[in-house]
Amino acid sequence: ARKAPSPEGAAPSTMHASLGKSCRASLRLQQVRLHVLPRPLSARCPLASCAPARTVSAAASAAAAMIVERVPCLSDNYSWLLHDASTGETALVDSSEAQPVEAALNAKGWKLTHIFNTHHHGDHTGANLELKKRHGLTIIGPRADAARIPGIDVQVQDGDKFTFGSAEVQVFDTPGHTRGHITFYIPSAKALFPGDTLFALGCGRLFEGDPKMMWSSLSKLLPLPDDTHVFCAHEYTQSNARFAVTVDPGNEALAARKSRIDAERAAGRATVPSLLGEEKATNPFLRPFSEGIRKALGVPTGAEDWQVFGAVRAAKDSF
């Protein structure tokens, strides 16, 4: 029997993962097309196991699209299938059970070519070996945690860039939830895959890191554009919203967002991905500078942002 998911990201060896997609502007859709910008992209890949180098012309880029498909597993897990329409390559961001992935691939007529792992937890790597055996794919994961990523072929770390399909993928080291956690970012598709580092209105529990480490990781994501889609790994948004309003009670944007989330969940619809801009405005884990949050938590005057973040995290852990 499967164990129930643990709160805010799986603890080691406690869960299996899922696959998913959904945009606040198109929550009723099962698929979203993220169009590659009409400009040449260097397809030079510094990783030996990546696809051969090639350059995409402006005309080809304009016609291409990155398709993100949601395939839910368990009670609240999401991972993500990425399909580059111009090359036919398909990647899975994190793996759990093979069967739901295979069903989605068969329904779309796609062949799986890559797995991108954000961290080592079982709900993100559980189907790595089975899918690799079946598809002969390439597994890309964190260098800092390579020993705990089953079947890893290519190790990446902060600042690395590689080509998937016709798009460049950038890598951020984002430790905190685990010490080897990474985040994948596709600028041309305005798509961020933070695993269990950042959730809609939340962040992952600090199983292997500390508040200062996690705040440093989240701070790397704040400069990204507001219209970046955040494809997080769990449907925790409604419970996160219930907590968020207790520590940021004067935030009108948060109150309005909570009402929308409650309506979406009542209708059985997903609430992720969100937009990074709305996370910056309403996610208390990204707002330790907020005087309202500091006052609600009784944080001492002069506390550093990472300390306020730690207070928010501690309050959520006991919520």
Residues in the chain: 319
281 phi, psi to nearest 5 deg: -85, -25
Residue 110 corresponds to which tokens in the numbers above? Answer: 């796609």
Nearest of 119, 260, 127, 130 to residue 198 by alpha carbon: 119
Nearest of 263, 178, 252 to residue 8 by alpha carbon: 178
CB-CB contact of 112 with 57 (8 Å): no
Distances (CA, A) of 285 to 78, 149, 290: 21, 28, 10
Q: Please give the positions annotated as active site.
A: 119, 121, 123-124, 177, 196, 234
CB-CB contact of 64 with 43 (8 Å): no
